[in-house]
Amino acid sequence: MIRILLSSGIAAAMAVLSVVHAQTLEAAPPRPNLAATGGATATSTASTYRINAGDELEIYVWGEERLQRKVKVLPDGTMAFPLVGQIKVQGFLPSEVEGLITNGLSAQYVGAVPQVTVSVVAAAGMQFSVMGRVKSPGTFSPGRYINVLEALSMAGGPAEFANLDNVLIIRKSNEQLTTLNVRLAPLFKAGVDEKDVARANILRIETGDTVIVR
């Protein structure tokens, strides 16, 4: 009977993934206005993904083949770029890195700096771990922002007797550890509705998070 209830509950929870994924995207940090710093704009800058150590970036300075390349963000969160030097990029949006490179190149041009485009081609640095009573615990690299419900799905879903009323997220920020509690039990039942989604406190996963299901 327990297995039957869990299976139907998981199916109901997965049915609302599209709704909570939309909420995750809406909760992403807003893109800043870089006009004051000379930041270039392009289609790639619409991304709300913040760069992590280990990510691979593709950088174009339009009309300058010598400045078009792929670079990997170092473990210390920096990258090197010709004529600019070593710059800190971890935690920045691609559009913000475009502004940093544009400003760094400004001394090399008499007029305006050619348009700079920064794209994340491999989000390898976006990692999190899931531990405890899940079917496939481990470390995952989704390559995009996800929420805690999607994180459990990537870990195979909750195992039997998992306490979904007290899922923990351990988050590291500036060498400080924060513990967040998530209540997902309302989603693992038949007839899930929007009120259940609102009550579940579905948080977005940040890089370096550890999700513990007890």
- What is residue 47's predicted lDDT score, i.e. its pLDDT? 61
Q: What phi, psi does 131 have (nearest 5°)? A: -130, 170
Q: State pLDDT tens for residues 149-171.
A: 999 999 999 999 999 999 999 99
Per-residue confidence band for 99, with pLDDT thresholds at 50, 70 and 90? very high
Residue of 150 and 175 predicted with greater confidence: 150
**Parts of the chain belonging to CATH 3.10.560:** 2-27+145-213
Per-residue confidence band for 214, with pLDDT thresholds at 50, 70 and 90? very high
Instruction: Choose which CATH entry (2.40.50, 3.10.560, 3.40.50, 3.30.70) describes domain 2-27+145-213.
Output: 3.10.560
**Residue for token pair 């909760």:** 27
Strand, helix or coil for residue 80: strand
Query: Is the pLDDT score of 35 beyond 50?
Result: no
Cα separation, 3 vs 211, whole angstroms: 23
Q: State pLDDT tens for residues 9-24.
A: 545 455 444 444 444 4
Mean pLDDT for the stretch of residues 166-179: 91
**Parts of the chain belonging to CATH 3.30.1950.10:** 35-122
CATH architecture of 35-122: 2-Layer Sandwich (3.30)
Say which amino acid occupies 131: M
Query: Is the pLDDT score of 7 beyond 90?
Result: no
- What is residue 2's predicted lDDT score, i.e. its pLDDT? 40
Range from 8-17, 54-63, 75-84, 121-130 carrying the lowest mean pLDDT: 8-17
Q: State pLDDT tens for residues 81-92.
A: 999 999 999 999
The rounded mean pLDDT for the chain is 82
Strand, helix or coil for residue 127: coil
